[in-house]
Amino acid sequence: MLSTLLPLTLIFIGIQITQGQLLIRPTYVYQNLIRNMHDFFNNTCIILLHDTPNVMENTSLDETKQLFSLQRYLSGTLHIRTVFMDFQMFKTRVGKSYYHIKRPLFVLLNDYNDTRDQLAYVSTWLAMEYPTWLLFFRKETQIEVFFHNIYVPFDCQVMITRDNENETDEEEILEVYQIDAQSKIRIMNFGSWDNINGFKGPTLSLYQRRNNLYGHNLRVVMAHDPPVSLIHHNERNEIIEVSGFFGELMKLLQEGMNCTLTYIETDSWGLNLLNGTWTGAVGMLIKNEADIAGMELMMTSDRLDAIDFTTPVYSTKCRTFIKRPDLTSIKWQAYTSPFGANIWYLIGFIILLSSGLIMIIKIVVKTISYYEDFEHSPSTLSEIMFYVFGAFCNQGMQQSLLDPVRMVQFVIHLTAVVVLAAYSAALISFLAIKTFVMPFTTMEGLLKDGTYRFAVVQESADYTFFQNTSDKVLRVLFDNILTKETDLPINYLDGLHRVCKEDKYAFMAMDNIAAELQQKLTCSVESLDTITQTTIAMAVPNRSPYDGIINSNILMLRDSGILQRLLNTEWSNQFKKPKSKWTSVELYDMVPLLIFMFCGSVVSSFLLSLEHIIHRKVVNNKTLRIIQKKS
């Protein structure tokens, strides 16, 4: 923009001088002060503004030479992009696209009434805080009168230089601003300049100098969202106090900025509707119904287009939480789970192999020689396997007289001792330690499961995140599950309560808030894998004059450790996992074994009865045949 306007510098359009001159200082004063201000604020360009075109017709030859000299010094000697423009040309050629000019320094060469009137007009559509201002004043000009009906925002950097009444050839540099549009102009010393010592600027930063709002009232919008924001009412439903992390943070900011706070309650963070309007706290900031949203707000792209965020307060992770699977259910696989399937297969193979080996040894020995004790030892493979299985169950086994069989029996008993010890230890651990298995650990698993409902806080950045996500899984989750939820929770506590009360209900929350709220829930919740890392901050309207002082105070609280102490105090359970502890084995843990024993007793009794019936029938048949033969 400036590159197209630089040729215009040769035209030198300036003020129509009713007083007879354009410049009210010697040329070297303009040169040095403008250069010093440019270097101090690190501006990229300089725009010298005046009020009336046709400068050549209204300016003397000497003054024209001074203008040429000033322009050559700034652009030629210092290589600073410099342009002379009257206010009307600035309005026509630049207009509201001024924000394309990066870090400009606007200079007003005098304080005449025409200049003041043009500045007052420009201030109605120009963001005064965007450029840096340097105004040259005469001794007799009253600053309060000059800025009558000209609003100089709190974060605006307007420097006024005027002759020092006590010293000749010395400039006193002041800075002016207002707390708000209705308050008086405030004047502070910025620095000084003289021809011998040069420029002396301030040693403090902008918000170290402007660290006081002098009791100005700030409207704070908040939502009741335990534990981070708690709003307390009296009998007339008036807000009497705010607590929680953000409530305490606002109190610290109030003390640091010396302001008063008026709290406004809202029921939602803010959602961007299809027609482009915003609801909740974001909507109130846009409509200028509040000065700051003192609540946790996620930084999202659509919100960044609508409001300004403060310095981040903390970072956290967003996860989906589900109710911990019930541990009181009967563990039907409790007595097989200590060993994997491969180990059980190996134990069965060892029993079969050792039984077969004993059977082969007996057959070989019997072929070579004869032993009478063979008649009293198990001889069939099924009998041998039964005895070997008994050995693995820590039962005795009939001793053999054959040394090869004894060696096999020794190996069987030794293996059985090791297997039984390992199984007993694993079984005790399995029964005594309360473990659970998550049905899924990812959002993709939740989607594939198909039995869970899913919800987020209504009119929040969480909902917008799923609405605008490019992730295929999360997009399908939003379209197929989340959009079907017509009654979304109003805050994180409400959502986690629903996780405990309702069957198969999943809810997304920030992990530090969920950890803090765990003690208020009637169940234990478990988190899935992290969905996203998010940054939490407060928010102010676009172009808020108080954004800088709020950020400055937040940074001081962070650097001094107060912010971290506040986090630790308000969120004592942050990121802590419950520790494992010893628990006794409950009766329901023994149910599978008791059922197995009961079923075994029933089956054994049935088989015993059946065997007894068959035996009696066989005996009766034999007796009947004997009687028939005798007859």
For 53-112, the three-class secondary structure string (H helix, E strand, C coil) is: CCHHHHCCHHHHHHHHHHHHHHHHHCCCEEEEEEHHHHHHHHHHHHHHCCCEEEEECCCC
Higher pLDDT, 631 or 64: 64
Residues 6+ apart with CB under 8 A from 622: none
Which of 100-109, 346-355, 492-501 shows the lowest mean pLDDT across its residues?
Answer: 346-355
**Residue at token pair 């300049």:** 193
Per-residue tokens: 60: 């003397």
pLDDT band at 4 (very low <50, low <70, confident <90, very high): very low
List pLDDT tens digits, range 489-515. 998 999 999 999 998 999 999 888 888
Angle made by CA atoms 339, 345, 350, in degrees to the nearest 5 = 110
pLDDT of 518 reads 86
pLDDT band at 12 (very low <50, low <70, confident <90, very high): very low
Residues 6+ apart with CB under 8 A from 248: 566, 570
The answer, yes or no, to whether residue 172 has pLDDT greater than 80, is: yes
Of 210, 193, 27, 1, whose CA–CA distance to 104 is shortest? Answer: 1
The sign one gets for the Cα dihedral 325, 330, 336, 339 is positive
| 128, amino acid identity | M
What is d(CA 476, CA 471) in angstroms, rounded to the nearest whole number?
9
Asked, as a colleague might, if the bond just before 578 is cis with ω within 30 of 0, I would say: no
The answer, yes or no, to whether residue 2 has pLDDT greater than 60, is: no
pLDDT of 540 reads 96
pTM here is 0.72
The answer, yes or no, to whether residue 573 has pLDDT greater than 60, is: no
The answer, yes or no, to whether residue 564 has pLDDT greater than 80, is: yes
Task: Walk across the sheet containing 104-108 and list its strands.
Answer: 81-86, 45-50, 104-108, 132-136, 157-163, 170-177, 186-194, 198-200
Higher pLDDT, 185 or 354: 185
pLDDT of 271 reads 87
pLDDT of 266 reads 93
The answer, yes or no, to whether residue 336 has pLDDT greater than 80, is: no
**Cβ atoms 369, 401 nearer than 8 A:** no
Percent of the chain with pLDDT over 90: 45
pLDDT of 57 reads 59
pLDDT of 345 reads 87
Mean pLDDT computed over 594-612: 81
**Cβ atoms 295, 223 nearer than 8 A:** yes
pLDDT band at 319 (very low <50, low <70, confident <90, very high): very high
**Cβ atoms 402, 490 nearer than 8 A:** no
335: Cα separation from own chain's centroid: 44
pLDDT of 54 reads 64
Mean pLDDT computed over 147-173: 89
pLDDT band at 55 (very low <50, low <70, confident <90, very high): low
CA distances from 475 to 421, 440, 446, 453 (A): 51, 19, 13, 15
What is d(CA 32, CA 199) in angstroms, rounded to the nearest whole number?
8
Of 239, 348, 220, 308, whose CA–CA distance to 545 is shortest? Answer: 308
pLDDT of 10 reads 31
**Cβ atoms 381, 353 nearer than 8 A:** no
CA distances from 468 to 300, 380, 471, 473 (A): 10, 73, 9, 13
The answer, yes or no, to whether residue 17 has pLDDT greater than 80, is: no
What secondary structure letter does DSSP report for 469?
-
User: Phi/psi zone of residue 550: left (φ > 0), alpha (ψ -120 to 50 degrees), beta?
Assistant: alpha
**Residue at token pair 């010093």:** 36
**Residue at token pair 């959502």:** 495
The answer, yes or no, to whether residue 470 has pLDDT greater than 80, is: yes
| 122, amino acid identity | V
